[in-house]
Structure 1
């Protein structure tokens, strides 16, 4: 089963929908997570309805910050939303070809460290609430080491330890 995570840096680009169709055709993902959509609400639904996936959950954005879309192929998986914030979407995934059920968390962490602390706390709470296999994927906006990034500000050991 394939899962694709894509930091789109905005979904209003003219080529966006064609890129999603190409990803879907080439990789046949059961789940597609699109982060940094910069679009929520009714406008997000209009776009996700045009994409080649039967299911979709869109998180709200804070202005032009963030946005997580979780899309899925309903012929491969059944998805039940458990919780969502601007930085995270948690779902239970049941693989239709087996009895396997697991938790999936799609992440687009805030670039602001104070808000990321809220995400870390939320993830700790989710960990306490279940004993199923758990996959966490996305953009955490916090490198663990200098080798994980190019340019920009130096890696902060204290922020990395929180992560």
Structure 2
């Protein structure tokens, strides 16, 4: 099964929609997590083609900012919405042919530090409620974990980075490190003005290390947004992938 996460940075312009849909067709995911649609739920469902090809669960934007969506192929996977807020949405994913199930949390991090701290608290509570079930926490977290996750601009340790590290550690999150690139966002400027950061990622929580599963993440080519999309392939252990990668827990 293939998951895709992408901060599309708005889905209003027809030309941009065509670019992004072309990316969906090339990647062929079963589940798509979208951040920053900049759309209300009804418009998002219409523009993303819900009822024609996808099923969907959306969170309204606030004016011209925010907006979340989870899309899935109903012919392949069952997805049941659980709960949501303006910065996250949670669903239950069931793939019967693989005997696979998990909770999926799609995250769009806020800009203000205080709101980020509240977001970490919310997600920690969600994870505590569903443990030990496998949970995948994915999206644009608007935060980095180390200096190496940013290049260009001013690099300094800030409270947001420390709080994000604390959240990851206290929630026992394990990142599926994506191949194909070290950064997921760019300001698209040239030369000395260029800034890139790692803001988007996939985390695992719960008893993921007890399940006979292989996880492989990859940063994909950018198109239509200043964020790169990232895919996560989940398969049963023993079924070879083109580039096998199994996450292991180290003490």
Give the drift of 1:98: 2.1
Give the drift of 1:151: 4.0
The Cα offsets for residues 77-126 of structure 1, whole Å up to 9 and x where unpaired, read as: 10011111111011110013122110111111111111112211111111
Give the drift of 1:11: 0.3
| Number of equivalent positions | 163
Give the drift of 1:158: 2.2
Residue 144 of structure 2 is aligned to residue 138 of structure 1: no
- Give me the TM-score of the superposition, normalised by structure 1: 0.89
Give the drift of 1:21: 2.7
Report matched runs for 1:1-163 at 5 Å.
Answer: 1-49=1-49, 53-130=53-130, 131-152=132-153, 154-163=155-164
Unaligned runs of at least 5 residues, structure 1: none
Q: Distance in 2 between matches of 1:13 and 1:145?
A: 35
Taking structure 1 as reference, are residues 21 and 96 closer, same or farther at Cα in structure 2, changes over 3 Å only?
farther
Higher relative contact order (CA 8 A, sep 6+): 2
Stretches of 4+ aligned residues off by more than 6 angstroms: none
> Which of the two has higher C-alpha Rg?
2
Taking structure 1 as reference, are residues 4 and 155 closer, same or farther at Cα in structure 2, changes over 3 Å only?
farther
The more displaced of 134-143 and 37-46 is 37-46
Mapped contact 1:24–1:52 kept (Cα < 8 A): no
Tell me the SS of whatever aligns to 2:98.
coil
Q: Distance in 1 between matches of 2:42 and 2:27?
A: 28
Taking structure 1 as reference, are residues 7 and 155 closer, same or farther at Cα in structure 2, changes over 3 Å only?
farther
Give the drift of 1:142: 0.8
Q: RMSD in angstroms over aligned alpha carbons?
A: 1.9
The Cα offsets for residues 114-140 of structure 1, whole Å up to 9 and x where unpaired, read as: 111221111111111112111111000
The more displaced of 38-47 and 147-156 is 147-156
